[in-house]
Amino acid sequence: MSLTLVEPEAVKTVALQMLVEAKVEILFYAFCAEVVKDGDELKGVIVESKAGREAILSKVIIDCSGDADVAFKAGVPCEFGNENGGVQPPTLMFCLGGVDTEKLRLSIAEEPRTYLTDFIPAEYFGQNNQFVLVGMRNLINKAKEEGLNLPTERTILITGLRKGEVWVNMTRVNGVNGTDPGSLTMGEIEGRNQIEDIQRYLIEYVPGFENAYFLKTAPFLGIRETRRIKGLYTMDRDDIMGCRHFDDAIAVASYPLDIHHPVGGGCTLEWCGDCYDIPYRSLVPQKIKNLLVAGRAISTTHEAMSAIRVMAPCMAMGEAAGRAAKMAIKEVQQPADIDVKKLQKELLEKGAFLREPQVEPVASN
């Protein structure tokens, strides 16, 4: 098991520095309002801002909105949620300071029967100063029985890089539509309302939080799921759990199926035991040319999306999509027609990780 923690404010600064150094033209504070299309060819997007509307034309467009905003407006077939239209609920993350994380981790390591964790063995907490905690269902149940209103079944905590800092992933607002501003507004209000009892639960029931105090919330609701495109290939549960190899792999991931149930406060976590490929075809939408999609909105089922939606796979997909778009422009091709082997070679040369092609066993007589 590995854990990579980052300092969000430093990441923001460094990311901008990298973009500026690469002479990328950056435009903040604008949203895609419409698209420019000629038949099935996407020619650009129309953005809206306080300055009004303007068109941005491009030979290839990459939709990294997370909600397939450009793809949807361009007419790409999309799916939304599970078979009943239910989506994984969003979370408003918040951060507490003054937490004795040493007391917390040693309590788990030394009293595992009292402080029960899901999946992660108690020994892990005895060996790591920075950690992710998932579990303590027994404490959640006790707090609920004693009157606290808690929206989840599990305690989910992530230590920060600063001493005493812990991020809390425990608010949950069912029924939020991440593509509807009214629904998002309701979700943020409800998420903030949930923080009070969650903070009280942590202080009164979880070791190390006795002197904890509120620091901050995330800048907005963390949306887990909205639209997903229909692409040239749709990743499914079997691809994840079967550690599937693809000839057109452009990224490798190992995050589990992590489905926060659309109804109730439960969550399903299933690991494949190793890692799985993400195929280039899942980034290429049906019906519309000059367009690629990267991030959680690629072509997957509801189940498979729960695994590829997190930051590391999204970063890998974004790099692959950017390099593919460059190749398509240079070689005057559609993104669907580029030489994926050439793309894979470039990714590897630039430091990306791809697995060796799977060799099928040779049958013997």
Give pLDDT < 50 ranges for the chain.
none
Domain that holds residue 166: 94-217
Q: What is the pLDDT of residue 359?
A: 62
Which residue, of 217, 248, 269, is where some domain finishes? 217
152 shares its domain with 256: no
Contact 169, 95 (CB under 8 A): no
**Helix pair 340-349, 311-330: axis angle to 10 deg:** 120
199 shares its domain with 245: no
CA distances from 364 to 358, 359, 360 (A): 18, 15, 13
Q: What is the pLDDT of residue 128?
A: 85
Instruction: Say whether pTM exceeds 0.95.
Output: no
- Residue 73 in any domain: the answer is yes
- Residue 1 in any domain: the answer is no
Q: Do the strands 267-270 and 276-279 form a parallel or antiparallel pair, or are they unpaired?
A: unpaired
> Could you tell me where the DSSP H helices lie in the chain?
8-21, 69-74, 101-110, 122-127, 137-145, 181-205, 237-241, 302-308, 311-330, 340-349
pLDDT digits (tens, 9 = 90+) for 307-349: 999 999 999 999 999 999 999 999 999 999 999 999 999 999 9
Phi, psi of 358 (to 5 degrees): -75, 130
212 shares its domain with 105: yes
- Residue 120 in any domain: the answer is yes
DSSP 120-133: S-HHHHHH-SS-EE
Q: What is the pLDDT of residue 315?
A: 96
187 shares its domain with 301: no
Identify the DSSP state of 231: B
151 shares its domain with 244: no
60 shares its domain with 137: no
Q: Do the strands 78-80 and 227-229 form a parallel or antiparallel pair, or are they unpaired?
A: antiparallel
Which amino acid, residue 9? E
Helices (H) and strands (E) in the chain, counts: 10, 16
Q: Both tokens of residue 345?
A: 């070679």
Q: Which residues contact 72 (CB under 8 A, 6 or more apart)?
A: 78, 227
116 shares its domain with 60: no
Count how many residues are written for the chain: 365
- Residue 89 in any domain: the answer is no
Which residue, of 217, 236, 265, is where some domain finishes? 217
Q: What is the pLDDT of residue 118?
A: 84
- Residue 85 in any domain: the answer is no
184 shares its domain with 234: no
